[in-house]
Amino acid sequence: MCDCLSNLIEEYFIIIVLIFIIVITIIHFVFYFKIKKTDLNFIFQAFDSSPLFDFSVDSNCNANSHVIFHTLEGINDQTKTNIEKIDGKYFCYKKILYKDLLYNGQIIKKEENCPEKFNKNCGIIDTLEQQLCIKNEDNCPLYDIGLGIPPNYEEYEIKGNIYYNKNINNSPNKKIIGKIILNEGQPCYGLNEKLWRKFISHEIGEGHLKCELKILNKLNDERYERKGDITYDENL
């Protein structure tokens, strides 16, 4: 768990996952939802995000990237802290940007077949149900993770209270995870909007418990799925 929280007991948070946001989403938002120019920044960030390839839960990610769940502002610039661990472990993965997969021809329409060079179909990667193709000898990215008891022990790796799918399965019907976050309730549409409260009164950052960006008269993004609860009981 995070070492940055003081005198906080059993605060309730939710770990949730998001199916990947893709090119058509940008077009859809721009032409139909009349988003302000400044609001487009969160959409373009999706191109620089990555499926979670070679995912593992470990105490050291070595050369791989790891998930940063949130940044606590602290009481001054020197005490800013990233929440990077759950159950004392990093969520490690190999980073390959969505835009690179797209430009490389590894994302195909639902009814198409994977190209010869990338002949393994890993499943659905975006909201158009386009699919991700990789080399046959490579592992598909993460498609399921949660806290608690896994739905099927044979198909999951288990590290403490965390379970995630093994690399043995791939299917065109599976949905690839695009993002894992911690959030105080159902997330906002804006990628930079996090529902998060202050833990001590003199923190620099303001608590943010209400979404601001509205899409189709909704403030909360229903595409996220709740995957477990965590509590904090930490001292500095």
Does residue 26 have a pLDDT over 60? no
**Is residue 80 situated within a structural domain?**
yes
- 180: in domain: yes
Is residue 2 domain-resident? Answer: no
Asked whether residue 92 carries a pLDDT value surpassing 90, the answer given is yes
Q: Which residues form the domain of 195?
A: 8-234
Per-residue pLDDT tens over the stretch 208-232: 667 877 877 888 888 788 888 776 6
The answer to whether residue 196 sits within a structural domain is yes
What backbone torsions phi and psi does residue 140 show, to the nearest 5 degrees? -70, 155
pLDDT digits (tens, 9 = 90+) for 36-67: 444 455 555 666 789 999 999 999 999 999 99
State the chain's mean pLDDT as an integer.
76
pLDDT tens-place string over residues 117-151:
999 999 999 878 899 999 999 999 999 999 989 98
In a domain, 221, yes or no: yes
Report the domain count for the chain. Answer: 1
168 belongs to a structural domain: yes
Q: Could you tell me if residue 147 is inside a domain? A: yes
Other C-beta atoms closer than 10 Å to the C-beta of 39 total 17
Please report the pLDDT score of residue 29 as a whole number.
Answer: 47
Residue 215 belongs to some domain of the structure: yes
pLDDT confidence tier of residue 7, bands split at 50, 70 and 90: very low
